[in-house]
Structure 1
Amino acid sequence: MQAEYLKRQPVVMRILTQSITENRLGHAYIFEGARGIGKREVASWLTKAQFCMQASPENRVCNKCVNCRRIEESNHPDVHFVEPDGASIKTQQIKDLRQAFVKRGMESDKKIIIIDQAEKMTAKSANSLLKFIEEPEAEVLIVFLTTAVQRLLPTIQSRCQLLTFQPLATEVLVRELETQGISEARGRVVAHLTQSSSEAIEMAQDEWFVEARKHVVQLYGYLRVADPMALIYIQTDWIGHFKEKNNTQLGLDLLLALYEDKLHLQLVSEQPLICMQQEKMLKQDALNTKLLTTTYEIEQILTAKKRIEANVGAQLAMEELVLTFVAIKN
């Protein structure tokens, strides 16, 4: 586990491991980064490291002892986990936490509190928690997990040590997906769309996504030769599959990946292709298309994404995009 997290988040893990080794762990941390990037897993590891009964300098968490297992099962009396109740973390939830602060640990002097989606604390609940951070008890550790650190009260931010979780390296995520039986070809596509391993696995195994990818490749096939059938395809096939706004945005992200690959081939980049299965076609297109044209095509896809985000109708935005692409080559 420790080696795995070191590979995924080397900077964060080295800071925490060194702090544990030197007995100077802080009393409050903010783990900041994208959803699904490993913040909760590292917080669990850090918690286990405080209670593990078989810890060693080489491996701070055995993951086998009674304490490690109870923490894994959310069943340790001195570990408290808080997440939003509905749309927010409410004042009553923080009041319940305050009781945990004023009492001694049931089995030790250590108490650990993990607050997930901490940006969803109401102003009242955040202020209620603030004085406990200002006057920490020696054996209390608080970890805030957030995707939007700027939404936390500045007074809370100033009293915590901020650890920023970096996006997973594409190669790390692709290899992780391979261990789940997902091919490298499909893994590279989903790794381009999300940094969350759980989301990537779900996406790669989703039949809707598999069909979406086929639709995008078909559309690209029309666009690369300026076939007017592209417009009919949007009206008869595309809209039927990409029904929601977020679906259309995902479709455009998949289309964008093909054009980014073509651009990298034109630039003779050593970056691995996102769309490995279309390599032969993309290499041919890279030779037959001007670099300026490819950059213009990418700009048009990005413009379409912005228009849809601004609530322009998805079908209208896609039809105009297709007409622009056809006009480029005619």
Structure 2
Amino acid sequence: MLPDFATTAQQTYPTQMAHFNELLKNGQLSHLYLFVGSSQSTRLAFSRYLAWQVVGATDRNALRINENEHPDVHLVAPKEEGATLKVAQVRDLTPEFVTTTLESPKKVFILDAVETMTASAANSLLKFIEEPAGPQLILLLTNNLQDVLPTIQSRAQIVHLNPEISLVDANGIDDNWQKNTQMLLFKWFELMMQRKIEAFAYVQTTLISQITTDLQQKMFMKWLRQLARDMVIYCATADGNLMFPSLIGFYKTLAKHYHVRQLVHAAEAIFADDKLRKINISLQARLEKMALEVTIALGE
């Protein structure tokens, strides 16, 4: 019999659950994910399910994970509703981040409501993300991607748990549109990363006419964030963990041409777009500003 958190995950996110089961089976699980889901209970259930699969899917482990008593699974969340994730809470995990597991193949860290994390807390977390002491799975959870710090977004693999965002459907998204738009996006991304002036004109002459609905805009920005993530983590991940592995040659060229600091700053310029979207700036203005900010970041 499945534990309650596994049943909830299976009923709520069947597609994502099947995808992660395949990653686990093939040994392709990344070490850092950012899960975006509106319901705290269901995103926690999904995270506990993954932790259970990683440490061992036994009844005893299920009970200990559910009671937050497993020695290799650590859950951190704001202490009360409306509070922030404090730097002290992250620092309290330091002994766990820097020591090996007690029972399991790897440690699992679940941090909920990371959109409330202060810059100091994020900086403390980044130290452990960038230099893991051993096999680890870090799951960051949020209900609002726009409020998550760009430094966190750029390093994590972002997974939208809301089906209306994460799945391509018939509401304005079809296979031909996806294929054509991704090709245009890849071209624009290449122009930006080459710091070419054509990247600005390309927004108005090519991209804007291709993106006509809110759902199309969400998908476009999702792919763009995935590109930014790929280029930053290329040197530290297996090809199977890249969102666009067909572009590995391009990522390799970027890694040779730019310092990782420049690529991180460029990625942060891309993730910063979410704040502009919240104040209703047009897509064209946002993309043109992004092209400028990326050019500046790469020239630093």
TM-score w.r.t. structure 2 length? 0.49
TM-score w.r.t. structure 1 length? 0.45
The structure with the larger Rg is 1
